[in-house]
Chain A
Amino acid sequence: DVKVTQSSRYLVKRTGEKVFLECVQDMDHENMFWYRQDPGLGLRLIYFSYDVKMKEKGDIPEGYSVSREKKERFSLILESASTNQTSMYLCASTTPGQGSNQPQHFGDGTRLSIL
């Protein structure tokens, strides 16, 4: 089974701090994604990466950056945390597949609170 591991289940940080969320997958997937999940809004894509050192902005990249130095690891960085970034953050991975019909595999999420 594919395993996507997020480094923290719960995290509490203060406004203005630099925050790192880590994600590791063990299936050699090319594509990795960072989403935030808020009630009633579904999943919103922050950034995704289709290869090492490659990244593309999603729908809500403002206030975030990412790093993909190794294929298995995709990091989300909050440059200067703000209270409106309090949310559940989900990492996912997938292979490109044929016509990109492959499902995404998710980690268990990091519930981040910014005080």
Chain B
Amino acid sequence: AQSVAQPEDQVNVAEGNPLTVKCTYSVSGNPYLFWYVQYPNRGLQFLLKYITGDNLVKGSYGFEAEFNKSQTSFHLKKPSALVSDSALYFCAVRDMGSNYQLIWGAGTKLIIKP
């Protein structure tokens, strides 16, 4: 069965330190992978996606993600965290059985402490 796992419910990072939010997936075929961010009382905003090509993908707000096919991972990273990065982060992968549907991880709450 196709699935997405975000193994950490919460990640705590000091401001200025690098951050990583983990995502692993299980799909058949070549995955399309996405990261979204949700600020309090708001909808989700698209951050970045991996479709094909370079394994390091750059996105909005200084975030990047590394696709690792052998480890079936797509971890979100940022070199220097800001307090304003505190939010809920979701990883998603396209459902290969459908043209439109995404399979979503449960979300990881990122807390950046001053």
Contacts and interface: CB of A to CB of B under 8 A. Distances in A.
B100 interface: yes
B22 interface: no
Nearest to A91: B43
Interface in B66-96: 90, 94
B101 to A, nearest CB: 6
A55 interface: no
Interface stretch (A13-21, A39-47, A68-76, A78-86): A39-47
Measured as residues with beta carbon below 8 angstroms from the partner, the interface class of chain A is 20 to 34
Contact of A106 (B41, B44, B51): B44
A58 to B, nearest CB: 7
A46 to B, nearest CB: 12
A100 B100 contact: yes
A103 B37 CA distance: 12
B101 A48 contact: yes
Contacts of A4: 43
Given A40-B106, A109-B43, A96 B101 contact: no
B90 A101 contact: no
A101 B51 contact: yes
B90 A99 contact: no
Interface in B86-114: 90, 94, 99-102, 104-107
A108 B41 contact: yes
B7 to A, nearest CB: 13
For the complex of A and B, the 3 pairs showing the least CB-CB separation, nearest first, are A106-B43, A103-B46, A42-B104
